[in-house]
Structure 1
Amino acid sequence: MKSGLRTTAVRSLRIKGRFYSTNSGSTITTNSVQTIQGIEKFPNNSTIFSLIQPTGKIHIGNYLGAINSWKELSEVESEGTKYLFGTADLHAITQTIDAKILKQYRMEAIASLISSGLNPEKCILFHQSAVPEHSELNWYLTCITSMGMLNRMTQWKSKAHQDQTSSIFEEKVLEQTKAGLLCYPVLQAADILIYKSTHVPVGDDQSQHLELTRNLAQSFNHIYKTKFFPMPKTLLTPAKKILSLRNPLKKMSKSDVDQSSCIYVTESSEEISKKIRKATTDSIQGKIYYDPVGRPGVSNLINIISGLTKKSIDETVVDLQWINDHKQLKDHVTELIVEEFKEKRHMYDQLLNDVAYLDKICQQGRDKAREIASDNIKQIRGIIGLD
């Protein structure tokens, strides 16, 4: 099996902080939250689903936190299992964006997914907005979602620039928050459930939304006395959150005013080298060690190395014992990133120059996704009484 998913006869699987041993080729059927690392086989006829917002070029945080894991998962062979990945372009408009820019972002996102290793012949690649069944199921689920559940979500508060202690029932917060931003977790649940997804790879920041998805699936099944929706499992990506190169106290972001803080998959080796040289470290000399609180900059670079080499933080630190100063560390990180993205950057450029091919992939993905979604929505209408 490629990409390190099957390297030994016995692997260690981390679930909610505990470790379980799994025999080679065994099927993982444990709790609702598990890490991707160690998965060697899905139950037959599983559906693995995840989307990424089309916000322009993919940076290394997106790559290590999502796309690289999608690629690995799509290489896990299980009979009858479907893989659906694409752009969450309906989610992208919760904040105003120019139409031409959004269209370009959508195309760049698909090109980034393919150039990062996703094979259109192994998985379904599509734009969320091309499958109207997402929006239909969104309404059905909205009707059984309480305002209290939405208010407890944390992501909308961050995106609306509100304190985590804020409440939608406060007049000032209510006036400043768009309904789409508050309600988008329900659309996210609809995205997942319209395909009866069984496994959803996400980062830590989306775990709360997956819990809401399971709650809504359970509520629907209970209200309509059915077992239609499965309980989708959260697959946590093993990569640590990648932080800003210039300010390692905050998350790496494309919207950062200082673009030296962010490395894109499509950048040249010269650009990558320049940004890593400028990366914030510290004044501590000697051996490299991992300490996110005391050494956030150095620890962020260690996280990047860990993600690229697919090794744990502890293993990575041991491997870095030959490094004696920050320059050696930065040179090593630069070499790894440049090598990882070299071919991907070339393919990305080729894809963007072949819009007809990208359109064809999206159309094929749309048709395959709609075939699944339309069959499910017909059954959902029947369960509700709208057939």
Structure 2
Amino acid sequence: MNKKIFSGVQPTGNLHLGNYLGAIKNFVELNKDENNNCVFCVVDLHAITVKQDPKELRDNIRETVATFVACGINPEKSIIFNQSAVPAHSEAAWILSCVARMGWLNRMTQFKEKAGKDKEKASIGLYSYPVLMAADILLYDATHVPVGEDQKQHLELCRDIAQKFNNDYSVEDFLKVPDPLIQKEFSRIMSLKDGTKKMSKSELSDLSRINLTDSEDLIVNKIKKAKTDPLPLPSDSKELETRPEAKNLLGIYSSLNNFTLDQTINEFSGKNFSEFKEKLSQVLVEKINPVANEIKKLNKENEYLDKILLDGQKKANEYASNKLKKIHEIVGFL
């Protein structure tokens, strides 16, 4: 059965190893499968839930496209576009926000985490963006959505909204209820400075992450300085439950090589971290350096990147506007 895959990536700029192993590497595999029709959206409307510098945002949208292509996503096989270029997303989000319920949104843990203690100062966009996310997915009749642990709740909301719309308007299966595609292993890559925190661009120290544009020397230096513990590498995965830094570094090595964690543990059991870090650096340089070079090259080719977005916009707009037209008819708009 053909799968219709939808996924969105925020144009935050300077994507890192966590973005690659947790999402983009999986996108590349999905893109290669002839049975998949993939839609990859640069979700710039989601990005402005927090204040953005306009010039930086434009640059980051292009850099996200450059990263997709540099990592191996084929723009001729998949649709790549930026969300704001397809007006149906915003309009469908409003219609679906009239179906969604306050109680559902109040349960969204990500809003509580991002808004912090002073929720009164958070934007309405930050509160309601899961409804926009639902619109993104439902406009394309997506059957499957790749999600990390932190987005599972949002996909559940999307499913609830689709089911309620279908029930309210007696249109069975009109809005397709999507299934999650959950990466079982290595979906969360942690900070190189603290194995209990997710790798993030927002962490102050650049040593906490491997950026996809890092040079060979930078990668080697960051792995050399990555936090470890004084014990030798374990012989059993159970030992890793109390050793977050070891678990993270072994997980990175495993994911880059398409190994299971157990295979990597067998390879390095009882060895010291210095030997392991040398091997990990080699693999990172081998996998990330070509991507970094390609991103830097593509970042100078704005016309090419804009053409990818324009081609993607035309395809996405045709599909999404047709779906929105049917939504209009169902709701009762003239």
Contact 2:23 2:187 in 1 (8 A): no
Matching of residues 1-387 of structure 1 within 5 Å: 43-44=1-2, 46-78=3-35, 81-162=36-117, 173=119, 175-227=120-172, 228-238=174-184, 239-285=186-232, 287=234, 289-290=236-237, 291-321=239-269, 324-387=271-334
1:288 & 1:246 partners in 2: Cα distance?
Answer: 23
Contact 2:152 2:180 in 1 (8 A): yes
Q: After superposing the two structures, state which structure 1 stretch, 302-311 or 369-378, moved more.
A: 302-311
Structure 1 residue 288, shift from structure 2 partner: 5.7
When the two structures are superposed, what TM-score results if normalisation uses the length of structure 2? 0.96
Q: What 5-or-longer segments of structure 1 have no aligned partner?
A: 1-42, 163-171
2:125 & 2:234 partners in 1: Cα distance?
Answer: 49
2:138 & 2:187 partners in 1: Cα distance?
Answer: 27
Gap change, CA 1:289 and 1:338, over 3 Å in 2: farther
1:31 corresponds to: none
Paired residue secondary structure (1:86): strand
Gap change, CA 1:66 and 1:381, over 3 Å in 2: same
2:41 & 2:98 partners in 1: Cα distance?
Answer: 26
| Aligned Cα root-mean-square deviation (Å) | 1.4
Gap change, CA 1:282 and 1:183, over 3 Å in 2: same
Q: Which amino acid aligns with 2:105?
A: L
Contact 1:57 1:112 in 2 (8 A): no
1:324 & 1:310 partners in 2: Cα distance?
Answer: 21
Q: After superposing the two structures, state which structure 1 stretch, 308-317 or 366-375, moved more.
A: 308-317
Structure 1 residue 293, shift from structure 2 partner: 3.8
2:322 & 2:309 partners in 1: Cα distance?
Answer: 20
Q: What 5-or-longer segments of structure 2 have no aligned partner?
A: none
Contact 1:288 1:324 in 2 (8 A): no
Contact 2:234 2:240 in 1 (8 A): no
Paired residue secondary structure (2:242): coil
Q: Which amino acid aligns with 2:177?
A: M
2:39 & 2:88 partners in 1: Cα distance?
Answer: 15
Gap change, CA 1:183 and 1:292, over 3 Å in 2: farther
Paired residue secondary structure (1:311): coil
Post-superposition Cα deviations, 1:116-170, rounded to whole Å, max 9, x if no partner, equal 11000110111011111001110011001111100101111111124xxxxxxxx
Gap change, CA 1:137 and 1:285, over 3 Å in 2: same
Structure 1 residue 317, shift from structure 2 partner: 1.4
1:308 & 1:90 partners in 2: Cα distance?
Answer: 31
When the two structures are superposed, what TM-score results if normalisation uses the length of structure 1? 0.83
2:175 & 2:101 partners in 1: Cα distance?
Answer: 19
Structure 1 residue 176, shift from structure 2 partner: 2.7
Paired residue secondary structure (2:8): strand
Structure 1 residue 353, shift from structure 2 partner: 1.1
Alignment size in residue pairs: 331
Structure 1 residue 283, shift from structure 2 partner: 1.1
Contact 1:86 1:110 in 2 (8 A): no
2:213 & 2:226 partners in 1: Cα distance?
Answer: 19
Contact 2:140 2:320 in 1 (8 A): yes
Contact 1:55 1:92 in 2 (8 A): yes
Larger helix percent: 2
2:56 & 2:233 partners in 1: Cα distance?
Answer: 46
Contact 2:143 2:177 in 1 (8 A): yes
